[in-house]
Structure 1
Amino acid sequence: MPHALLDLVRRYADVHADRLGVASTPIPGLTAIRASAPSPLQVAVNRPLVAILLQGKKRVTMGEKTLDFGPGESLLISADVPTVSQITQASLAKPYYSLVLELDLAVLRDLSIEIVGASAEDVGPMRIAQTDEDVADAALRLMRLLERPVALPVLRDQLLREMHYWLLSGRHGVAIQGLGITDSHAQRIARAVAEIRRKFAKPLRIEELAEVAGMSPSSFHQHFRAITTLSPLQFQKQLRLIEARRMMLAEGAGINSAAWAVGYESVSQFTREYGRLFGTPPARDIRMAQLCA
């Protein structure tokens, strides 16, 4: 893992990270993460992504599977699945840094037509491997673009495409090939997931989601749970609660307004379900976050 990539991510994240340690970039899907102390447990429903860890350590759990990874390794999440994660090693003297890229399914579809490789394998939606040198090199050149705003709009898309190519060709390739196969179950469920994300605050209509996925309602339920580990209703509920938590912690929204904004009609129900997911009621969660800020 080149030290130059860590240096670039450090420089960018130290300046741009928000109070949650997230430093968004003008490159679609690319985010730098910084933490100066071990974190509490974080619940998320991730989009398909690759996270390149550059400094520090992190633990990620999906269902009964727990993975620890550190510098030189990358985490692949190849489906929209709920995870519980925790930064386990970080300090003021040596902060945690990682670079996260959300996978672009349209780019993967395009590349899959051109790449002739092994058949997609069912290796599970979460895995860790050593970061391929070609992937790290493409990430390095993407980060360099952030310091060259004139070149950014000209070169950004082709470098993103190159990074997806090396991911498909490298150690994580067999795990993400299904995302690029037109009309695969992964692709069909991804269309339904995108619809849930777009309308997560509205009532869930299974028949409409099944139609989006091109499946019968019973087949849709079966494949949705197999890929995401949740039912559609559970998936929507976690999205709502995670978005409400983001609104309260990052934007300072009140409990009532956050609950209503994500589709809850009962604040007491919101409070109960929030406590079950995050392990503490929203008011206490906000106070703890303020003390740690």
Structure 2
Amino acid sequence: MTTLLDRVRRYGDLHADNAGIAATPIRGLGTVRATAPSGLVHAISQPLVCLVLQGAKQVIMGAQSFDFAAGDSLLITADVPTVSQVTRASAAEPYLSLVLILDPVLISDLMVEMKAAPLADCAAVRVEPTDAEVADAADRLMRLLDRPASVPVLQAQLLREMHYWLLAGRHGAAIRRLGLPEGPARRIARAVAKLRADFAEPLPVGELAALAGMSPSSFHQHFKAVTSLSPLQFQKQLRLIEARRLMTAEAAAPAEAAFAVGYESVSQFTREYGRLFGLPPARDARALRRWAAA
């Protein structure tokens, strides 16, 4: 009998890129594989759920550390900075996971139908055992990929079902924060989307506050409460993470990467890069390329 693990393994083997990530034709759904323990990966994650099917991983957010393995689900309910590392993986038994970007509009609709109380657990990152109903819905989503013609017809109802079981299960209380249309998480998310799209441009604080429907002072307060960063820190991390990708994946020189992501001073870029990643840009990029080639 083919299991969810088998389906994710097969899809990842066929479609994973150099980073081990394989997007699927299903909206927001992808797989991750790693054949060896990884280095530290810095990211500002979108709200998502990650079902680990094989191997183990660690995610750090601020002072909190989360270790999880096969049978666990990681939930992230805000755009927060994380540092992650695959801790158990091999060629024979790779790390394998299924990741779904959560849909706040779908969550809002389901909360109304479920008459779910609009109370939310404020923890932005948490780990719980994967509910059987969530795993079953995920398996049926992956089965659609074997019949591509079925994806546009059936994906919406199966995504809805998976979100339903997530809301009804162990992660439900935390996910509700995403379903409040005028809650801080959703309002800040509008500003975050603008920052993600235009991170290389000057920071328009007034425009971001207006997008969130807040005064500048209230916006700063709520932005940091939701993301753990100020808007300026958030933009800076987006820039540095993208610069790191340009240097490692596209072999860009440090100065070229700095200007591409919006820095006007290479020396400032070098200082801030070293503070985030622990090494100067050129040395860090060489180390990452050596690790990827090993």
- TM-score, normalised to structure 2, is 0.95
Counterpart in 2 of 1:44?
43
In structure 2, how many angstroms separate the alpha carbons of the residues matched to 1:98 and 1:252?
28
Deviates more, 1:120-129 or 1:61-70: 120-129
**SS, match of residue 150 in structure 1:** helix
- State whether structure 2 residue 287 is matched by structure 1 residue 282: no
- State whether structure 2 residue 265 is matched by structure 1 residue 266: yes
Contact in 2 for aligned 1:135/1:167 (Cα 8 Å): yes
Counterpart in 1 of 2:141?
142
In structure 1, how many angstroms separate the alpha carbons of the residues matched to 2:122 and 2:69?
21
Q: 1:229-256: CA deviations, max 9, x gaps?
A: 1000000100111122222223333323
Contact in 2 for aligned 1:79/1:125 (Cα 8 Å): yes
In structure 2, how many angstroms separate the alpha carbons of the residues matched to 1:272 and 1:105?
37
In structure 2, how many angstroms separate the alpha carbons of the residues matched to 1:153 and 1:82?
33
Counterpart in 1 of 2:13?
14
Counterpart in 2 of 1:170?
169
In structure 1, how many angstroms separate the alpha carbons of the residues matched to 2:282 and 2:79?
28
In structure 2, how many angstroms separate the alpha carbons of the residues matched to 1:3 and 1:229?
41
Contact in 2 for aligned 1:120/1:176 (Cα 8 Å): no
Counterpart in 1 of 2:188?
189
**SS, match of residue 66 in structure 1:** strand
1:27 to 1:252, Cα distance in 2 relative to 1, 3 A: farther
Residue segments in structure 2 that go unaligned for 5+ positions in a row: none
Shift of 1:132: 0.9
Counterpart in 2 of 1:130?
129
Counterpart residue type for residue 29 of structure 1: G
Shift of 1:18: 1.2
Counterpart in 1 of 2:179?
180
Shift of 1:163: 1.1
Q: 1:94-117: CA deviations, max 9, x gaps?
A: 110011111112222222222212
Counterpart in 2 of 1:27?
26
Shift of 1:3: 6.9
Contact in 2 for aligned 1:59/1:66 (Cα 8 Å): yes
In structure 2, how many angstroms separate the alpha carbons of the residues matched to 1:34 and 1:99?
9
1:3 to 1:131, Cα distance in 2 relative to 1, 3 A: farther
1:289 to 1:3, Cα distance in 2 relative to 1, 3 A: farther
In structure 2, how many angstroms separate the alpha carbons of the residues matched to 1:109 and 1:23?
28
Counterpart in 2 of 1:257?
256
Equivalence map 1:216-227=2 (5 Å): 216-227=215-226
In structure 1, how many angstroms separate the alpha carbons of the residues matched to 2:217 and 2:160?
36
Counterpart in 2 of 1:247?
246
1:3 to 1:86, Cα distance in 2 relative to 1, 3 A: farther
Contact in 2 for aligned 1:76/1:128 (Cα 8 Å): yes
Counterpart in 1 of 2:77?
78
**SS, match of residue 70 in structure 2:** coil
User: Cα RMSD (Å) of the superposition?
Assistant: 1.5
Shift of 1:209: 0.9
Counterpart residue type for residue 94 of structure 1: E
Contact in 1 for aligned 2:118/2:180 (Cα 8 Å): no
Counterpart residue type for residue 85 of structure 1: S
Q: How many pairs are equivalent? A: 292
Contact in 1 for aligned 2:253/2:282 (Cα 8 Å): no
Shift of 1:118: 3.5
Residue segments in structure 1 that go unaligned for 5+ positions in a row: none
- TM-score, normalised to structure 1, is 0.95
